[in-house]
Amino acid sequence: MKSSVVNRIETIIVGAGVAGQLIAKNIKTNEGSGLHVVGFVDDYVSKSSETVDGLSVMGVIKDLPQLIRDHSVEEIIFAMPSERGKKVREVVELTMGLGIGYKILPRLAEVLKQDFEQDYLRYVRRVKPEDLLGGEILKTDQAEIVDFASNQTILITGAAGSIGSELSRQVIAYGAKKVVLFDWWENGIFELRTQIIENYPDATVEYIIGDIKDRSKLDQVMMKFTPDTVFHAAAYKHVPLMEGNPAEAIKNNIFGTKTVAELAIKNKVKKFVLVSTDKAVNPTNIMGATKRAAEQVIHILSQSQDKTIFSAVRFGNVINSNGSAIPFFEKQIEKGGPVTVTHKDVTRFFMTIPEAVHLILQSWVMGENNDLFVLDMGESIKIYDLAKLLITLHGYIPEEEIKIEIVGLRPGEKLYEEVLVKEEETSATSVKKIFRTQNYVSLDMTAYLQQLVTIQDFVQADALNETNIRALMQELVSTYRPANN
């Protein structure tokens, strides 16, 4: 049934609560919106005949496909600010192929004054990948981080990367006394510096171009700025590239970490936080094996002294990180496809970058020596299903208008990721999505240090001998099993 309003986009609002009512009121009073609300759907309203502010609650979410057809609906607006991830995916999956658009009232609107005169419509935007994959809103004590950061000088390695740059922004926003940003990537540091100067003009920040493998330079930096905390986010992370360049992964991820950690002890750093990955668990690729070795290195160093508190934080994929699947898929969609997926059954955990970094900072505050924190990444999602969702968000019908091509697993790639090795057991912390375990390492310290010397000498002498490098890594990381693909 077409509306009597000419040239308006027929719209259904998902959520008949306060936010949905505000959006409906704004649309009704805004002639320039180009929208016409036909009604609400809401799983939490018991009777579909109920009306809200003169508009019907037409049914529940599962009724959407039929309602869209019956009312020639062209757009859905999500007005459920507390719902993210699974609920948004459910709606998009249910309506896939119906040729509609998807908009959302973002979480930003929650901090605004809730009165019916507020123009909430101006905050409505297109649904983004993070809306599909983001978890629940974190309700944590941010004051604790502010108190902890306020008297700290903080050094961040890999500061220009996806995690490092967000760490930089958040610790500055939390009022750190001084922040030292260290990275070899000149362009990345330049862009980050521009953002920080624009958004935090009064912050005390040092920008250092350098390589974590350069012991002398890094030692000079630590001696000059005397950091209280080091966040070690620098790492080579791209699985296929590191499969083809194992010596560089070892030099950077293992010995770079060892250098930073040893200098942290030398320079009396109070806390050292290693940013790790779920790929370190039972690794099938060089990148994951080197990150597990990095965890082992800081375990050994944590046992050798009592001045620096060492901890690690392990989590999965972050949305829209440099080189990750989502930006890659979106570029393929913009070109008309195909979207290339390695395997139909590959699953991954996802978290937004701000959410992951916020949890890293919570772990930093509560961390004790040799802690290994595991972040609750929520439910995993099939990458094939993610590709279909992204195609749908761009206004295309998956497999009809944009093809999905299965290209085979990449070297070292797993079908699914894990978060714990067999011997690790977690316990809850005061923060809902953070779990604590001990950095379990069953190693003879003397023998392990000798293995490190052996592999370091080998990659310096014969960096292209991939077969022998992998064999040495299997001796170093007992859980490493190279994938045969």
Rounded distance between C-alpha atoms, residue 370 and residue 441, angstroms: 10
In single-letter form, the type of residue at position 395 comes to G
Query: Could you give the count of Cα atoms lying within 13 Å of 37 in the half-sphere of its Cβ?
Result: 32
Q: Count CA within 13 A, CB hemisphere, residue 475.
A: 14
Cβ(359)–Cβ(431) under 8 Å? yes
Closest CA to 295 of 214, 371, 218: 371
- Residue 355 exposed, middle or buried by CB count within 10 Å (0-12, 13-18, 19+): buried
Question: Do residues 85 and 67 touch, judged by C-beta distance below 8 A?
Answer: no
What the block records as the tokens of 285 is 């690729």
Strand partners, 52: 55
> Which amino acid does the sequence have at 321?
S
Closest CA to 133 of 318, 396, 410, 340: 318
Catalytic residues, by residue number, are 279
Q: Strand, coil or helix: what is 70?
A: helix
DSSP label at residue 345: T
Whether the CB-CB separation of 317 and 325 falls below 8 Å is answered with: yes
Q: What is the full DSSP assignment across 283-301?
A: -SSHHHHHHHHHHHHHHHH
Instruction: Write phi, then psi, for 441 (nearest 5 degrees).
Output: -140, 115
Q: Which helix (H) or strand (E) holds 341?
A: strand 339-341
CA distance 392 to 369: 46
φ and ψ at residue 324, rounded to 5 degrees: -80, 175
